[in-house]
Amino acid sequence: MAPTRLNERQLPLRDVFSVARVLAARGFEVTRTQALTDTLMSAENPTEQEIDVLFNTFDDQKVRFELSNCINGKAHSVGRISQFLSLPGIILEQSRFTKTLEWYFGELLVRRFHAFSAAFGVELAQNPNPRNGQESGDYDVLAVMGDSNLVYMECKSGGTDHEQIIKATDRGNSVFAVATIITLSHKTTIDLLRAQLAYKSYPGISSKLDVATLRLKGSKDSTVYAWHNTFFLPRSGATAEAGLRTILRLIALNRVELLKGFGVDDNDYDRLGFDLNPSS
């Protein structure tokens, strides 16, 4: 007799492998997380279809840009966001837009990359920064990936600087995340990142590391920037999916090479399907 297969309705993976449970197993106590009602859609108990509209609105970068313009009183196309505006309980506030962006990236990891669960706006008890002992602050997005590793994402809607990058990396390190991913606005270029980090040591590593540009071969839309275990997702293409696909492959590559006892060199990237520091 073939083994019985459990579907997600029988085994709610988001609950069994929740961020709070995985953090508890690591000795952390979650004191607060944001809920869907903290996003632009404040309605209680929305339908799955309504949640899909919210997700699809943020999944299309052009539509998301129009919505941001609408909230900030700038010129925008009403037609592109009309379906979203018809959702129940919509509150057009910038703070809620930011929270919705955090929710979206966690949901993206669950829907497209089979993360077990994600949580946004996460606060922890007694969680000092591993470098200076100060409180680490809240976590924009934490996700339990399908291999049970924890990934931290920090969402930047404006510019960023080296202090913010190091603080974000520290937050990821403080919960033993396998990687920290920072989403960038259109204002942040690879040249700016390299200039900001040129004389900075990676947290926990004494040597200075260059910021690399990496992408999957034949896919310009998959371009990301890597600074050791901190990855930057630039604002390019219609969605963030291609860039995240590159980052997750790089995370897996780094872990496999670490288990083998070897580091990743430039030849490994080329051999395994990546373009390293492409000229265009």
| Mean pLDDT, rounded, for 120-138 | 81
pLDDT score of 102: 96
- Judge contact between 210 and 226, C-beta under 8 A: no
Tokens linked to 101: 């962006």
Number of alpha carbons in the 13 Å side-chain half-sphere of residue 255? 11
Instruction: In whole angstroms, give the CA distance from residue 109 to residue 116.
Output: 9
pLDDT score of 207: 72
pLDDT score of 55: 96
> Residue 131: is its pLDDT beyond 90?
no
| Mean pLDDT, rounded, for 80-96 | 94
Instruction: In whole angstroms, give the CA distance from residue 164 to residue 94.
Output: 20
> Residue 158: is its pLDDT beyond 90?
no
| Higher per-residue confidence, 52 vs 131 | 52
At residue 232's C-alpha, the angle toward residues 204 and 159, to 5°, is: 100
| Mean pLDDT, rounded, for 127-146 | 83
Beta strand pairing status for 117-125 and 139-144?
antiparallel
- pLDDT, tens digit, 9 for 90 and up, residues 242-259: 999 999 999 999 888 765
Number of alpha carbons in the 13 Å side-chain half-sphere of residue 15? 5
Torsions phi, psi for 17 (to 5 deg): -115, 45
Beta strand pairing status for 29-32 and 117-125?
antiparallel
Number of alpha carbons in the 13 Å side-chain half-sphere of residue 178? 20
Torsions phi, psi for 96 (to 5 deg): -75, -35
pLDDT score of 91: 97
pLDDT score of 249: 95
Starting at the edge strand found earlier in the chain, the sheet holding 150-155 runs 29-32, 117-125, 139-144, 150-155, 179-183, 230-233, 224-227, 212-216, 274-276
pLDDT score of 185: 77
Instruction: In whole angstroms, give the CA distance from residue 179 to residue 221.
Output: 21
| Mean pLDDT, rounded, for 34-41 | 96
| Mean pLDDT, rounded, for 92-96 | 96
pLDDT score of 9: 59
Predicted confidence band at 236 (pLDDT cuts at 50, 70, 90)?
Answer: low
Q: What is the pTM of this model?
A: 0.90
> Residue 111: is its pLDDT beyond 90?
yes
**Contact residues for 170 (Cβ-Cβ < 8 A; gap 6+):** 129, 130, 131, 136, 203
pLDDT score of 213: 94
| Mean pLDDT, rounded, for 59-72 | 91
Predicted confidence band at 238 (pLDDT cuts at 50, 70, 90)?
Answer: very low
| Mean pLDDT, rounded, for 169-185 | 92
> Residue 133: is its pLDDT beyond 90?
no
pLDDT score of 265: 81
Question: What single DSSP character describes residue 9?
Answer: T
pLDDT score of 142: 98
Predicted confidence band at 33 (pLDDT cuts at 50, 70, 90)?
Answer: very high
pLDDT score of 80: 87
